[in-house]
């Protein structure tokens, strides 16, 4: 069964600290892995997209890693800011005859406090 | 700037009523998608379209329908709203079926009483 599991479910950190979010998946055949940020009351916005051959990708203070052998990914946030408070969703895509099919994780709810 | 919009942003309706949620994109994307988001679940695909007059069922399509008469719009209709359809609905679009990037709308919060 194609599944994406994220941990932790929620996380509270102090502003300026770093944190790492985890994503494990069983989606097959793998096409790409994406991390989205979803602010409260808004739609998800893409942070990074990684294909099989990429094991690290950065977008500003966000760095995603991918280990396709162990089917794990992480999202590292450096020097957190209050605006980083959001849900972070891991999405794994498999390529089918009908195009990319996405499997979404349930997200990690991050709260950054003063 | 190109964008994807949804309306209404909030809707309360009664069980058994027909409801239509609108989605409009100005990206000129061929591919459009409808998802629902519920607590404890990741976004789940309801219906999708790869072009005008093309519609396909997703994993949770029962009780929903879509139609695609032009490139810009993919309205989602709940034929007879049920309390189980209380959810937040997101529309998304992408350039092609193989494209990596999907752009999401702001969502519609639907409550069925």
Mean pLDDT of A60-82: 97
pLDDT at A11: 97
The 8-class DSSP code of residue A28 comes to S
pLDDT at A101: 85
Q: For chain A, say whether B49 makes contact (Cβ under 8 Å).
A: no
The Cβ of residue B105 has, within 10 Å, a number of other Cβ atoms equal to 26
Q: How confident is the model at residue B97 (pLDDT cuts 50, 70, 90)?
A: low
CA distance A14 to chain B (A): 26
Six-digit token pair at A77?
């946030």
Q: How confident is the model at residue A100 (pLDDT cuts 50, 70, 90)?
A: confident
On the question of pLDDT at A2 being above 90, the answer is no
Helical ranges in B29-101 per DSSP H? none
pLDDT at B55: 96
pLDDT at A48: 94
On the question of pLDDT at B1 being above 90, the answer is no
- Residues A103 and A32 sit within 8 Å (Cβ to Cβ): no
Which residues of A fall within a CB distance of 8 Å from B45? 101-102
Handedness of CA B69, B73, B74, B80 (dihedral sign): negative
pLDDT per position as a tens digit, B14-32: 999 999 999 999 999 999 9
Handedness of CA A79, A50, B47, A108 (dihedral sign): negative
Q: For chain A, say whether B1 makes contact (Cβ under 8 Å).
A: no
pLDDT per position as a tens digit, B36-93: 999 888 899 999 999 999 999 999 999 999 999 999 999 999 999 999 999 999 999 9
3-state secondary structure A5-27: EEECCEEEEECCCCEEEEEEECC
**Are A106 and B41 within 8 A, CB to CB?**
yes
Mean pLDDT of the residues in chain A: 94
Q: Nearest residue of A to residue B100 by CA position? A: A49
Mean pLDDT of A11-35: 95
């Amino acid at each position: 069964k194609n599944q994406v599991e994220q941990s932790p479910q929620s996380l509270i950190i102090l502003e300026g600290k770093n944190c790492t979010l985890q994503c494990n998946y069983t989606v097959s055949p793998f096409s790409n892995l994406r991390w989205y940020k979803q602010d409260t009351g808004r739609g998800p916005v893409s942070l990074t997209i990684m294909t099989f051959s990429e094991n690290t990708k950065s977008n500003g203070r966000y760095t995603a890693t991918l280990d396709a052998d162990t089917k794990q990914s992480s999202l590292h946030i450096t020097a957190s800011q209050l605006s980083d408070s959001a849900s972070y969703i891991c999405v794994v895509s498999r390529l089918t005859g009908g195009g990319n099919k996405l499997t979404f994780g349930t997200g990690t709810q991050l709260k950054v406090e003063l | 700037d190109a964008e994807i919009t949804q309306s209404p942003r909030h809707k309360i309706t009664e069980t058994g009523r027909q409801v239509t949620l609108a989605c409009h994109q100005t990206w000129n994307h061929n591919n459009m998608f409808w998802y629902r988001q519920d607590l404890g679940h990741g976004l789940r695909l309801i219906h999708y379209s790869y072009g005008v007059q093309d519609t396909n069922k997703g994993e949770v399509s029962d009780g929903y329908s879509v139609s695609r008469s032009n490139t810009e719009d993919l309205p989602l209709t709940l034929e007879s709203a049920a309390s189980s359809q209380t959810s937040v609905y997101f529309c998304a679009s992408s350039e092609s079926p193989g494209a990596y990037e999907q752009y999401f709308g702001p969502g519609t919060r639907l409550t069925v009483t």
